[in-house]
Amino acid sequence: DVKVTQSSRYLVKRTGEKVFLECVQDMDHENMFWYRQDPGLGLRLIYFSYDVKMKEKGDIPEGYSVSREKKERFSLILESASTNQTSMYLCASSPRPVGTYEQYFGPGTRLTVT
């Protein structure tokens, strides 16, 4: 079974803190994605990566950055957390080519910024 794991299920951080959300997949997938999920808005793409050290902006990249130093790991970084970044964060992976195959999702990290 494809396994996508995220470092935390719940996280509480203070405004201004630097926050790291980690995602690891064990199926040698080339593509990895970070989404945030908010009520009434569905899932919105923050960043994605087609390969190691490659990254592409999604629909809402402002306030976020990413890092992909190894194929299996994709990190989302909130440089200076703000209360409007309180949300559920979902990581996903898929094999190439992008779009042809379904994405496999992790369990999500519910981040609260106070």
Partner 1 sequence: AQKVTQAQTEISVVEKEDVTLDCVYETRDTTYYLFWYKQPPSGELVFLIRRNSFDEQNEISGRYSWNFQKSTSSFNFTITASQVVDSAVYFCALVLYNQGGKLIFGQGTELSVKP
Contact status: 108 vs partner 1 (CB under 8 A): yes
Q: Is the peptide bond before 95 cis (omega within 30 degrees of 0)?
A: no
Burial label for 89, CB within 10 Å (0-12, 13-18, 19+), is: buried
Contact with partner 1 (CB under 8 A) among 16, 56, 79, 83: 56
Contact status: 97 vs partner 1 (CB under 8 A): yes
Site for partner 1 in 19-38 (CB under 8 A): 31, 33
Count other C-beta atoms under 10 Å from residue 102's C-beta. 10
Contact with partner 1 (CB under 8 A) among 8, 22, 30, 58: 58
Cα torsion through 11, 19, 89, 15, rounded to 10 = 70
Binding site for partner 1 (CB under 8 A): 31, 33, 40-45, 48, 50, 56, 58-59, 88, 90, 92, 97-108, 110
